[in-house]
Structure 1
Amino acid sequence: MFEGVEQASATTRLIVDVQNNTRLWNNYGHTPRELAAEKSNLLPFPSTQPRRARKTGRNEPCPCGSGKKYKNCCGKANIIFCCMGAGQTAGQIRKLNRYTSKKRNSFATSPVYLKNAALKCIR
């Protein structure tokens, strides 16, 4: 195919040059060579990990500022929003909340319990 090593290396250089100077869709119309030249304009990666928000406990004061416990304020909203995603109507959600308020034990807010309770309220 090639008559010598020089011809193979010259062909390889031409192919690499074409690849580095071809505008690519993935690069938003820029060539790889242009992106390499703009590398000095890039921001450095952050050296620290981003902080994660601390999860509010059920018996802690609610972060909304109402003064109530989280479980009696915005913690109840989590049950409602969880069930609204299942496509229940407002009446079914009220029925579900009444049903779950009767069962005030530790499993009352588990996802499996809520799913079963939502199925009972739909019927």
Structure 2
Amino acid sequence: MDKKVKRYYQLKQKHKEIEQELAVLRSEIMNHCAEQDVSDLEFGSYKVKIVRQERKEYDDKKLFESLPDPEVWRMLSKPDSSKIASLIKLNVISEDRIKDTFSVKNIILLQVDKK
């Protein structure tokens, strides 16, 4: 068991190092794309793509206050965008009713694939 614990620790340290290096590389690639004002690039046999997304981040208190029935809150347990979207689609709650309960967060994803 001592060897397993030691190996686990070593791998976690390596994982942290890899995550840090990935963050630096991601930043450099994103900056390069921004400087070139492009969202798609090819480098040798690699293809880089910048994908922009919007994500809703709900305010628990505002969402709870906007729901018609406390039972609906139990169905959510905590704000989950996909569950909330399902409840809207099923007409359990209306999108208009919860319009002031979230903020939209813009997310930028970096995708690198091999051709």
TM bracket, shorter-chain basis: under 0.3
Structure with more strand by fraction: 2
Higher RCO by CA contacts (8 Å cutoff, separation 6 or greater) = 2
Q: Greater helix share, 1 or 2?
A: 1
Q: TM-score normalized by structure 2?
A: 0.21
The normalised TM-score by structure 1 is: 0.20
